[in-house]
A and B are shown apart, each in its own frame.
Chain A
C-alpha cells in the first residue's frame, strides 16, 4: 500500500496506521502522541494530539476526509495522502488540543520530577500558547498514596489510559483503573490497594506526564543534572537492559531505555528498577544519547570529564614552578655569574 505523508511516499503493510507510517519516515512529519503507545495494544485515540488532515482518502475514493483524523487510529488506504506539518488546519488543531490538555494540568513543572523528559512539556513548548486563557479553577484531587514505590499526582494526569493498559497487558492482573467520568475521572487503585505486581514500575515510564513518578527518586535531583548511562544485568524476570541515572557515583534512578518517540524499548521489572542502586550490580555500557535539543544533554555526560584539582595554597603563595625561575624570583640568582 502506498501512502503519501507531507509529499513523502512510503510503502507500508495493510493494517498500518498513519502514525506508524509517519514514524517509519521519521523526522519532522511524525505527529506527537500523548496516549498512543506502540508497545501496548488498544492505546490511542484519547488525547487527539496526533490529529492530521487527510487530503485524499484513497485511490478508490479520492475525496478528502472532512474532519481531522487521529493518526494513531486511522488505518492507511492505498493512495492515501496525508498532511501533517504542511497543513495549517492540523497545526491549528494541535495547538487547540495542547491548550485543552493544559486546562487541568497544574503547571507545577518546577516541582515535578518529570520536567525535562515530559511529553506534555515538549508538546506545549512547540505548540502551546505563552499565556493561559483558562479563567476557571483547575480540577484538584486529594493526594492519594498508592504504594511506596510509585507516586501518584492525580492533578497532573491527562487521562491517556496508558498506565491502565500497562496494568492490563504487562502486569497481567489489573488492580488500578479509571474511576468516575468527565471532569471527575481519575486514575486510582481500587480501594487504594498498593500496586504490587513485579512489573508495575513500568507505569512510571509509560506515563507521558508527571502523574506517576518514581517515589525512590522523588525530589532527589532534576533530570538534567543526572548523567544517563546504558547498563544491563542478568535478570530472570526481564531483559535487564536499563538506563541508569547517575549523580557522581550514585545511581539515583533506574528506568527502561526509551527510544526517539519516548517509548520504552523493553519493559523492565521492579527488582531492576527499585532494588539495585549499587554500581557493582550493573555492567555499564556507556553514556546514553538523547536528542540534540534535549535538556538532558546539559550535563555533558558524553564527554570524558577529568576531575579538576586545583592546588590552591601552593599556587597562590608561591606561584607556578616555571614562574619562580624568572628573574624577579629569589630562586634565580641576580647575577648571571653566580649561576
Chain B
C-alpha cells in the first residue's frame, strides 16, 4: 500500500464527484430531512438557560470571586501577612496593614489587620494560589458563590474590602451554625 492510499486515522474517505439524479437535484428530500431534525429538537430538553435570571449550580471545584472570611465570632480573619500577594502570579493583590486598637478587638482576629485590601479582578487569573498560601484561612475563591461580572469601567474591577469581606448576615448564619 502506498502512502497516498493509507489512512492513518482510519477516517480517510474517497471523494466522489458523481452526477446527482433529478430527485436529488430537487432537494426536497434533503430539506424535509433537515426540517425533521429541527422539529425533533422542539421536544428535547433545552441545553441553554435564561442567564442571568437563572444560574447554573457551581461545581464543587469552581473558583470565583474571592471572599475574605470572618471567623465564628464574626471577626475578620485576614491579618495582612502579605503571603497571598507574594504568591499571586499576576500581582493582582495589594494590601496595607494597620494595628488593631483595643476597642476593635471584636472586629479583627489578630493584632494586625488589613486596612486596605484590593484585588484587581482584571489581573486575577483565578488560579487559587492565594487561597493555598493563606496561613489564616482568610481568603477563599469558593465561598462567595459568585463570579465576577462584566463591566465597562476598569476601575470597577478593583475590588476593595467592601466587596470582598464576608457580608455580616452570612457571618451571623455561620455563628448560629457553630453554636
A residues neighboring B (CB under 8 Å):
108-111, 115, 218-222, 224-225, 295, 298, 312
Interface hits, B80-136 → A, CB 8 Å:
80-83, 85-86, 97-99, 110-112, 135-136
Q: Quick check: is B56 within 8 A (CB to CB) of the other chain?
A: no
Q: Quick check: is B44 within 8 A (CB to CB) of the other chain?
A: no
Cross-chain contact of A219 among B85, B112, B135 (Cβ < 8 A):
B112
- CB within 8 Å: A-B pair count: 35
Enumerate chain B residues within 8 angstroms of A222, measured Cβ to Cβ. Answer: 81-82, 86
Check A110–B154 contact: CB distance below 8 A.
Answer: no
Enumerate chain A residues within 8 angstroms of B65, measured Cβ to Cβ. Answer: none
B residues neighboring A (CB under 8 Å):
79-83, 85-86, 97-99, 110-112, 135-136, 154
Cross-chain contact of B110 among A110, A221, A224, A225 (Cβ < 8 A):
A110
Enumerate chain B residues within 8 angstroms of A219, measured Cβ to Cβ. Answer: 80, 97-99, 112
Closest to A220 in B: B97
Cross-chain contact of A110 among B81, B85, B98 (Cβ < 8 A):
B81
Closest to A224 in B: B86
Check B81–A295 contact: CB distance below 8 A.
Answer: no
Enumerate chain B residues within 8 angstroms of A221, measured Cβ to Cβ. Answer: 97
Closest to A115 in B: B81
Check A295–B98 contact: CB distance below 8 A.
Answer: no
Give the CA-CA distance A111 to B138 in the complex, in Å. 14
Enumerate chain A residues within 8 angstroms of B98, measured Cβ to Cβ. Answer: 219
Closest to A219 in B: B97
Q: How far is the CB of A273 from chain B (nearest CB, A)?
A: 21
Among A219, A221, A295, the one with the most B-chain Cβ atoms within 10 Å of its Cβ is A219
Check B111–A111 contact: CB distance below 8 A.
Answer: yes
Check B112–A111 contact: CB distance below 8 A.
Answer: yes
Check A110–B83 contact: CB distance below 8 A.
Answer: yes
Enumerate chain B residues within 8 angstroms of A298, measured Cβ to Cβ. Answer: 86
Check B135–A110 contact: CB distance below 8 A.
Answer: yes
User: Besides A109-B135, A110-B112, 5 other CB < 8 A contacts?
Assistant: A110-B81, A110-B135, A111-B81, A222-B82, A225-B82
Enumerate chain A residues within 8 angstroms of B111, measured Cβ to Cβ. Answer: 108, 111
Q: How far is the CB of A222 from chain B (nearest CB, A)?
A: 4
**Closest A-B pairs by Cβ, 4 of them:** A110-B81, A222-B82, A219-B97, A111-B112
Q: How far is the CB of B83 from chain A (nearest CB, A)?
A: 7
Check B79–A111 contact: CB distance below 8 A.
Answer: yes
Closest to A316 in B: B154
- A-B contacts, 6 of them at CB < 8 A, read A111-B110, A111-B112, A219-B99, A221-B97, A222-B82, A312-B154
Check A224–B82 contact: CB distance below 8 A.
Answer: yes
Enumerate chain A residues within 8 angstroms of B79, measured Cβ to Cβ. Answer: 110-111
Check A108–B82 contact: CB distance below 8 A.
Answer: no
Give the CA-CA distance A218 to B99 in the complex, in Å. 8
Enumerate chain A residues within 8 angstroms of B83, measured Cβ to Cβ. Answer: 110
Closest to B138 in A: A110
Q: How far is the CB of A127 from chain B (nearest CB, A)?
A: 20
Given the contacts A219-B98, A224-B86, A295-B86, A109 and B112 also touching, CB distance less than 8 Å? no
Q: How far is the CB of B109 from chain A (nearest CB, A)?
A: 10
Closest to A218 in B: B99
Enumerate chain B residues within 8 angstroms of A109, measured Cβ to Cβ. Answer: 81, 135
Q: How far is the CB of B177 from chain A (nearest CB, A)?
A: 26
Enumerate chain A residues within 8 angstroms of B136, measured Cβ to Cβ. Answer: 110
Closest to A298 in B: B86
Q: How far is the CB of A213 from chain B (nearest CB, A)?
A: 12
Give the CA-CA distance A269 to B136 in the complex, in Å. 37
Check B154–A108 contact: CB distance below 8 A.
Answer: no
Enumerate chain B residues within 8 angstroms of A111, measured Cβ to Cβ. Answer: 79, 81, 110-112
Closest to A222 in B: B82
Q: How far is the CB of A132 from chain B (nearest CB, A)?
A: 14
Give the CA-CA distance A218 to B111 in the complex, in Å. 11
Give the CA-CA distance A14 to B112 in the complex, in Å. 50
Give the CA-CA distance A111 to B113 in the complex, in Å. 9
Q: How far is the CB of B115 from chain A (nearest CB, A)?
A: 9
Give the CA-CA distance A108 to B99 in the complex, in Å. 14
Enumerate chain A residues within 8 angstroms of B99, measured Cβ to Cβ. Answer: 218-219
Q: How far is the CB of B101 from chain A (nearest CB, A)?
A: 12
